[in-house]
Amino acid sequence: MAASSGMDRRWDLATLGDLVADLIVPIPALPIEAGRHQLAKWMRLEAGGQCSTLIMARRLGLRTVAVGVMGEDPVGSHVRSALAEEGVDLAGLLLSPEVRTSPALVVVDNRGEHVLIGRPDRGPHQPFADSWRAIIRSSRRIFVTGYTMFMVSMFGRDNVLRGLRIAREADSQIYFDVSPPEYVGGGDDVARAFALADVVLATAEELSSWTGVADSLRAARGVLDHGPRCVVVKVGSDGCHIVARDGEQHCPGFPVRMRATVGAGDAFAAGFMAAEAAGCSPYEAGMIANAVGAAAVTRVGTGRLLPQRAEIAELLGTRGLVLPKVGGPNGA
């Protein structure tokens, strides 16, 4: 569904949901074992989760805005400063003194394996703010993850679904990144998000887990029955598959030296949305998203530690591909 041309679209992309922080800790080896002490190479508190998507999309030229809930505590302040530094609009953030932003601990080892230890931010569920409706209606694209369907998130499942319905009424494009089942609410909530989404993004494992269908491409075809125009199935270093009603295409990955996969999925989503904003076909968007994700795994970290536009353009150039420019006076 195309965005309505008669509506003023101030932003190219809005994310819905709680914003989080990551404490990145690179160590020599996982697993961590009792009595086996290790020295971290460094530690850094960084904007995580959907913040990584906002930052990466901004670096690719999209005008981005965050819609969600965050505490007025020092960790929340750090995340907001990181987003503002990157040019992300914070007009949709509701700050609450009752909320405490809890950073997730992200431990990464020399093989690129990582483990995430976290908990939901503390604070009461927040009612839907009047300002959110106007921001959603003024955004060409809406991005939401399964994590925001988490029953105890402060933004909350009901606010997510209400926001998606407003986006559907406004003819905004909706992108839903599924997330692992262990972090998400009930299957009925995910099915509702499938029905409202234009594009569903998921790893092969996530699709199989949610649908109960072992073959991820067959599972993706089943998701199409809910209403999305396409499903993007991420298959790691092999790239991704674009599954649509008119056919399926494999977008091959880019061979790189992998250092860590944390943040790669968030960056991939930004790449896909930015490419579609530039008018690329789903296949071209898949290739660009693969390049963004591949560039991300050559680094360790999320948020501002993700790659710059020039690195992605260089990687695309190895295949004779060009990173298109996005934006302009009338948006993307």
Whole-number pLDDT of residue 7: 59
CATH architecture type of domain 13-32+40-235: 3-Layer(aba) Sandwich (3.40)
Whole-number pLDDT of residue 191: 84
| Contact residues for 252 (Cβ-Cβ < 8 A; gap 6+) | 238, 239, 287, 290
Whole-number pLDDT of residue 189: 77
Whole-number pLDDT of residue 50: 93
| Structure tokens given for 226 | 């809910």
Whole-number pLDDT of residue 43: 96
For the full predicted model, state whether its pTM sits above 0.85.
Answer: yes
Mean per-residue pLDDT pooled into runs of 10, the chain (332 residues): 57 93 94 93 94 97 94 92 97 88 89 84 76 96 86 76 95 92 66 92 91 92 95 96 96 94 94 96 96 96 95 95 72 50
Residue 100 is classified by DSSP as B
CA distance 318 to 314: 7
Q: Where are the domains of the chain?
A: 13-32+40-235
Does residue 173 sit in helix, strand or coil?
strand
Distances, alpha carbon 312 to alpha carbons 103, 141, 233, 262, 264, in Å: 28, 22, 21, 17, 13
Whole-number pLDDT of residue 186: 60
